[in-house]
């Protein structure tokens, strides 16, 4: 075990006590990254014009309700969810041709039996493209971005009336597509999955099926990014400099022993999804994406849910991106004018430059994670003795990309990591800081400075 007991340690201890006085909440959070030049160079390739063309195409199908037409004649006529699905698949295939066949384009198709919002058995199809990792030992690691391509109007069972779904969720589908187009021009050691799901409005049916498949097949899925309503609706009170990032606190998939530990040690804000949200905040400070992630420490908005929850239920880290201020006149509404108020999810309310900035934040996050080493395994905090030091141990990051490890920590009252210390290429460290007063985590770092998601230790006697 490496003992990191140096003079700098006392400086760090002093910094921590400053943080605990509450000062750090308004200060720029530490630590900071340096940008990967390859990722930074790719981000300007994300095109607001392409995103606009893709959202316009999605709206052109009239309705994309999961219960709408998907017979061959309707697909040929360009109407209904079947036509939307075929077009999304053809787009992924086009991107793949442009990268020498680098994408594997697939569908996850199943029949959903009748439910309250699905009157008769209905075929649901998720469409996805896989950019396989180039490193044999890391290709099984995955990160994912998704949007839902189904839409709805006022009546959740109306399969023929217009349901443009420009923002909800043409915008998120366009983010997934544009990330695929731009990132397929690059290579990463780990795998990136670009997904478009259906059935969201009927009850998260598509994402539930997909996340369960990922779980059943033992996917090593480190992160799922769900973009839903990221159109930057042009209402007067919109803030186009912010995108909200929702993350669950206490994991829905936590076991009883997990819950006992969370209760006793104050782990309510340290789910894997929350670490992913903090990672996104760091990416937002590192790369010039043109907007700021605003972390919201709750699963979702009041009265609403989304596809990230399906991944959370299977135990995966997943977050939701949503514009700062939603206009509910423009969601789940028949297109109409009432008392001079325009209702409906129309193209004219979408800010394509805003969607492009959200896509850049997503692309930077996916690229940073797919470039990074796997997180360290079996991270423990030793609690054998009553003492004022903190002893951490871990197993090497699997896959061989890590060249060293970093300890991060923050005051128990602080939302984001405040401090980082290099621990070298070791599998343990002792800090002259009390584990009772801070929350610690360990992350793996490669030679180029790519960081893994941090892992909060579990106590070990
Ligand atoms: Zn939605």
pLDDT range class, residue 384, cuts 50, 70, 90: confident
Q: Extract the tokens encoding 182.
A: 């731009």
pLDDT digits (tens, 9 = 90+) for 112-165: 999 999 999 999 999 999 999 999 999 999 999 999 999 999 999 999 999 999
Task: Output the CA 201–ligand 1 centroid distance in Å.
Answer: 7
Task: Output the CA 268–ligand 1 centroid distance in Å.
Answer: 27
With vertex at residue 271, the alpha carbon angle to CA 128 and CA 189, rounded to the nearest 5 degrees, is 45
Task: Output the CA 275–ligand 1 centroid distance in Å.
Answer: 24
Total Cβ atoms within 10 A of residue 115: 11
Task: Output the CA 282–ligand 1 centroid distance in Å.
Answer: 26
Task: Output the CA 165–ligand 1 centroid distance in Å.
Answer: 9
pLDDT digits (tens, 9 = 90+) for 262-317: 999 999 999 999 999 999 999 999 999 999 999 999 999 999 999 999 999 999 99
Give me the half-sphere count of Cα atoms (radius 13 Å) on the Cβ side of residue 446. Answer: 18
- Mean pLDDT across the stretch 435-448? 97
Task: Output the CA 168–ligand 1 centroid distance in Å.
Answer: 5
- Mean pLDDT across the stretch 207-232? 98
Q: What pTM was estimated for this model as a whole?
A: 0.93
Which residues is 105 bridged to in the sheet?
129
- Mean pLDDT across the stretch 188-199? 98
Task: Output the CA 332–ligand 1 centroid distance in Å.
Answer: 9
pLDDT digits (tens, 9 = 90+) for 12-63: 333 333 333 333 344 455 556 789 999 999 999 999 999 999 999 999 999 9
Kindly state the percentage of the chain with pLDDT values over 90.
Answer: 91
Question: What pLDDT, on a 0 to 100 scale, did the predictor assign at position 41?
Answer: 98
- Mean pLDDT across the stretch 405-430? 97
Torsion of CA 10, 13, 15, 17, to 10 degrees: -140
Question: What pLDDT, on a 0 to 100 scale, did the predictor assign at position 14?
Answer: 32
- Mean pLDDT across the stretch 350-359? 98
Max Cα-Cα span within the chain = 74
Task: Output the CA 331–ligand 1 centroid distance in Å.
Answer: 9
CA 198 from chain centre, in angstroms, equals 18
Task: Output the CA 305–ligand 1 centroid distance in Å.
Answer: 8
- Mean pLDDT across the stretch 357-372? 98
The answer to whether 196 and 126 have CB atoms below 8 angstroms apart is yes
Angstrom distance (rounded) from CA 145 to CA 90: 18
Question: What pLDDT, on a 0 to 100 scale, did the predictor assign at position 461?
Answer: 86
Residues with CB under 5 A from ligand 1 (ion): 168-169, 228
Choose among 195, 184, 210: nearest CA to 131. 184
* Residue 43 burial by Cβ neighbours in a 10 Å radius (0-12, 13-18, 19+): buried
């Amino acid at each position: 075990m490496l003992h990191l007991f140096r003079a700098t340690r006392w400086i760090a201890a002093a910094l921590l006590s400053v943080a605990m006085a509450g000062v750090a909440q308004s200060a720029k959070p530490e630590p900071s990254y340096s940008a990967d030049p390859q990722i930074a160079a790719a981000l300007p390739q994300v095109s607001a014009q392409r995103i606009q063309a893709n959202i316009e195409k999605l709206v052109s199908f009239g309705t994309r309700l999961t219960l709408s037409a998907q017979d061959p004649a309707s697909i040929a006529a360009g109407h209904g969810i079947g036509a939307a699905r075929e077009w999304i698949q053809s787009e992924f295939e086009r991107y793949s041709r442009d990268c020498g066949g680098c994408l594997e384009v697939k569908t996850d198709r199943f029949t959903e039996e009748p439910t309250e919002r699905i009157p008769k058995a209905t075929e649901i199809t998720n469409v996805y493209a896989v950019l396989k990792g180039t490193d044999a030992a890391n290709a099984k690691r995955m990160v994912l971005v998704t949007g839902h391509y189904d839409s709805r109007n006022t009546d959740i069972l109306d399969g023929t009336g217009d349901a443009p779904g420009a923002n909800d969720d043409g915008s998120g589908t366009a983010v997934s597509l544009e990330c695929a187009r731009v990132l397929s021009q690059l290579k990463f050691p780990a795998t990136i999955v670009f997904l478009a799901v259906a059935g969201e409005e009927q009850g998260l049916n598509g994402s539930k099926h997909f996340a369960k498949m990922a779980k059943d097949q033992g996917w090593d899925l480190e992160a799922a990014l769900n973009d839903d309503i990221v159109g930057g609706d042009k209402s007067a009170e919109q803030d186009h400099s912010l995108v909200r990032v929702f993350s669950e606190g206490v994991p829905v998939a936590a076991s009883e022993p997990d819950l006992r530990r969370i209760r006793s040690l104050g782990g309510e804000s340290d789910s894997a999804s929350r670490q992913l949200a903090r990672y996104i905040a760091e990416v937002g400070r590192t790369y010039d994406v043109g907007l700021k992630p605003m972390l919201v420490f709750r699963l979702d908005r009041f009265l609403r849910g989304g596809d990230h929850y399906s991944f959370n239920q299977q135990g995966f880290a997943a977050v939701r991106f949503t514009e700062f201020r939603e206009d509910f006149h423009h969601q789940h509404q028949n297109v109409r004018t009432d008392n001079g108020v325009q209702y409906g999810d129309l193209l004219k309310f979408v800010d394509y430059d805003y969607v492009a900035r959200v896509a850049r934040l997503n692309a930077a996050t996916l690229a940073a994670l797919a470039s990074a080493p796997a997180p360290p395994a079996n991270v423990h905090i030793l609690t054998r003795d009553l003492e004022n030091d903190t002893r951490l141990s871990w197993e090497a990051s699997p896959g061989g990309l890590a060249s060293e490890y970093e300890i991060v920590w923050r005051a128990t009252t602080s939302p984001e990591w405040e401090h980082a210390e290099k621990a070298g290429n070791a599998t343990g460290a002792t800090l002259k800081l009390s584990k009772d007063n801070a929350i610690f985590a360990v992350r793996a770092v490669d030679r180029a400075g790519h960081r893994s998601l941090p892992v909060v230790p579990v106590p070990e006697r």
